[in-house]
Amino acid sequence: MRVSRSCKPLLLAAVALMGWSAAPAFADCASSAREIEPSISEVGNQAKKEKAQRAISLAVEESEKNNEKACMKYLAEAKRTAGMKTASAE
């Protein structure tokens, strides 16, 4: 498929905008993960605390890989393990 020269700047702008609009979602997941870390450190059950902390670590790792879906999955797992409300439960 050929793109005319007059359409290339528009196409590049659209691609850039799509990439820019996805960035805040990854940042939100990572910042949410870091925000709930203090709450997880207060969990009394050591096994649950370790499982939730591991899920938070995995969420942050996935956000660094720009994998929002996996980040949100691990974030929800950490909240569930720690007994916190998740987005679907609110």
Pairwise CA distance, residues 90 & 83, whole Å = 13
What gap in Å lies between CA 80 and CA 67, rounded to an integer? Answer: 20
Strands (E) in 5-69, as ranges, are none
The pLDDT confidence band at residue 1, using thresholds 50, 70 and 90, is low
Higher pLDDT, 35 or 6: 35
pLDDT, average across residues 28-45: 88
Residue 13 pLDDT > 90: no
CA-CA distance, 1 to 63, in Å (whole number)?
Answer: 34
